[in-house]
A and B are shown apart, each in its own frame.
Chain A
Amino acid sequence: MSATSAVAADAQFDVIVIGSGPAGQKAAIQAAKAGRRALVVEERARPGGACVQRGTIPSKTLRETALALTGLRRRSGGVIDVEPPPDLKLASLMRRLDEVVAAHQRFIDDQLRRNEVTVWHGRARLFSPTEVAVRDVGGEVRVAAAPTVVIAVGSRPRNPPEVPIDHEHILDSDSILSIPYLPRSLTVVGGGVIACEYACIFAALGVDVTILDRGARPLAFLDAELTAELTRALERMGARFRGGVTPRAIAWDGAATVVTLDDGEEVRADKLLYCVGREANLDKLGLQNAGLRANARGLLDVDGATFETAVRGVYAVGDVIGPPALAATAMEQGRRAVCHALGLPAPNALGAIPVGVYTIPELAMVGLSEEQARDHHGAIAVGRARFAEVARGQIAAVDDGLLKLVCDASGRQILGVHIVGDGAADLVHIGQVAMLAGWSPEAFVDNVFNFPTLAEAYRIAALDVRRHAAR
């Protein structure tokens, strides 16, 4: 008797996807597009995962408001005074949020329905490598079976026992968005993507922000020139990054949040955002029933190309497998896992994956950093273009923008593209495509870009590469 024969016929699928965040959605849609029966199990009433409900979409909505404020300040040349009032309610800034989230969820709902993906609302627990028990919010249990199971359950903010996160004074990246008022001051513990993004948003809104991190600089995985620009931008907004410090204790003393540093110094603020790492939502999934175990970091190990775990037919994608833990990458992982499971032609190996960080200003990169390029290639040629040199940059008063092309010593092969400034996350795709197509930077010199645009920076940087290349 097969493991699935006891399961009702309408609960038998070709692919079961646990989780409906970016990775889960794309996995299910890929299966459905291949004509297979796909089930998505989602524990929340609406799909989308943390990305839609608590992460990317809500924080980016608030960021837009903050950007509008800083943009107006900058572009009006001080003509319009846009200092936010001290008792500004966060809720009023987030007014658009419900609409944006609802619209996005509707879009996901429609997409799943259009592709005839079945959605069960409930908490999933693995019974075996091919069976998943789904308990709905009322406690009713149904069992679904499929030869392929994709685990895409995402992650949540890490809350170590020694940090008294009460979601009122000491917050995590989920609860920070529901505080009713903008605090006067905010300490951000952590120097990663989420920490830096929130630090910038609140600083732009006029909050006195201090970032505390063990690392010497924020976002250590990015090119040092970019993060130096970010640190300067933070200072211009009245915030500060304090690197190389170790918080020994975090507490709320009744009047303020207090971080005691290793040297005994106390850093006080109205609110504290604790943003050091995330943990995968694997604890209630019954991994052992499927013969799986989380690794020492609490993540699932997978094959880097197929995303299959050590158990045949069980795949894991998105935040549960660790870095880069980006929505865009997670989507592609979901798609690739299902392609492998269904024996569909394997897509090309993942090429250059871009990274976008929605700080203010935006940061983006693809390929190798200058430092990595030197390690791998020895001599290199680097071309730079400051946005201030580009007409569009001057018009938009973007004086802190920089685009950097990292090339091999001959200046013919692009190894990496690094951008800081408005629109960086979009602009980087030009460089990404050039890298994937194997173009030399000369292509930017020989071709015509719209004028005035920030994309012109590619041309200026390419000319700068030419100056530095060993030819």
Chain B
Amino acid sequence: MATAPLQARLLARVDGGELAIPSLPQAAVEAMRELDRPEPRPRQLASILSTDAGFTAEVLRVASSALFGGGAPIVSLPQAITRLGLQRIKELAILVAARSRLALPGVLAQPIRALLRHSLATAIVANEIARQRRARVEESFLAGLLHDLGRLVLLTALRDELGDRPPPSAAELFALTDELHGRVGALLVERWGLGRAIRDAVGAHHAPRADELAAVVALADRIAHELLGDAVLPPDAPKVAAALDLYPEDLEEIVARAGDLASTVAVIS
């Protein structure tokens, strides 16, 4: 199927500011507001999150998973907040929100699940890269988590564009988002109010140049693809690693610390 016209229409929508950028669920918006206070109140946070039962259940499920170290299951929001800390709760809330807002049914369900798993894997690897470099650790997880979400926004737009016509293959649809997803991801991050550093890193993760956090995400993106077995390490990976002054033995340590990514990201079902 010729996809060029579709791509042109997507570009026109992005350029014309006509792309629908989904908002965060209300509970997540209020939770972010609470978390951004100088002194967030854990009890207040728990009460905000608990207004959305589906959201709460999902937060507890993910909080109890191997992603956050496993152990005894977490059964209440206050317990989750104590065990994981406010920053992790924020990241988790965004992950859950992204899923609920951006998942599409039908032919794309499977590729989108793979994409969310890849996003989570990228977040974990980005966190380890940042730790290895002893810089930007706190922002790296979120930047990795969000780096590809622009694709989901674009896929939603593509679904509208297609209407009743038979869709291209999932691979073709994803390929259509290659060029624009960084830019759209940055719009999403801005809309969600997650800060300039994350926005810039998401926007530039395919051409990091001077942005350190973008380079961390770019490398994590490549390593995550390889570790999840959905792509071989791209030939430019050493160059991206070199820009971060990471040597092959550093990469080995990062991969070892990231652990069994495939089973960790299985939390996204």
Contact = CB atoms under 8 A, between A and B. Distances in A.
B135 A174 contact: yes
B82 interface: yes
A464 interface: no
A43 interface: yes
Interface string B38-57: 11001000000000000000
Contacts of A167: 130-131, 134-135, 137
Contacts of A1: none
A175 B38 contact: no
Contact of A254 (B38, B83, B136, B247): B83
Nearest to B42: A255
Contacts of B42: 255
A184 B86 CA distance: 14
Given A45-B245, A91-B197, A174-B135, A255 B238 contact: no
Interface in B91-117: none
A135 B247 contact: yes
A323 to B, nearest CB: 24
B171 to A, nearest CB: 31
B241 A178 contact: no
Contact of A138 (B36, B137, B242): B242
Choose among A86, A175, A252 the residue with the greatest number of B CB atoms under 10 Å from its CB: A175
Nearest to A86: B38
Contact of B135 (A45, A169, A178, A253): A178
A377 to B, nearest CB: 46
A178 to B, nearest CB: 4
Interface in B36-89: 36, 38-39, 42, 81-87
Given A45-B245, A178-B137, A254-B83, A184 B39 contact: yes
Contacts of A177: 135
Interface string A225-253: 00000000000000000000000000011
A87 B134 contact: no
Contact of A166 (B81, B137, B139, B243): B137
A180 B131 CA distance: 15
B158 interface: no
Nearest to A172: B134
Interface string B233-259: 000001001110111100000000000
Interface residues of B, number: 29
Among B86, B137, B242, the one with the most A-chain Cβ atoms within 10 Å of its Cβ is B137
A135 B248 CA distance: 10
B242 A45 contact: yes
A219 to B, nearest CB: 25
A135 B84 CA distance: 40
A216 interface: no
A345 interface: no
B138 A180 contact: yes
A41 to B, nearest CB: 13
Contacts of B136: 178
B22 interface: no
A179 B241 contact: no
A137 B138 contact: no
Given A43-B245, A175-B134, A179-B138, 17 more contacts: A45-B243, A45-B245, A54-B134, A138-B242, A139-B238, A139-B248, A166-B137, A167-B135, A168-B137, A169-B85, A172-B134, A174-B135, A178-B134, A178-B137, A180-B139, A255-B42, A255-B86
14 contacts: A45-B245, A86-B38, A137-B246, A137-B247, A167-B131, A167-B137, A168-B138, A169-B85, A178-B135, A178-B138, A180-B139, A180-B195, A254-B84, A255-B42
Interface of A: 43-45, 54, 86-87, 91, 123, 135, 137-139, 166-169, 172, 174-175, 177-180, 184, 252-255
* 3 tightest Cβ-Cβ pairs between the two chains A and B: A86-B38, A137-B242, A178-B135
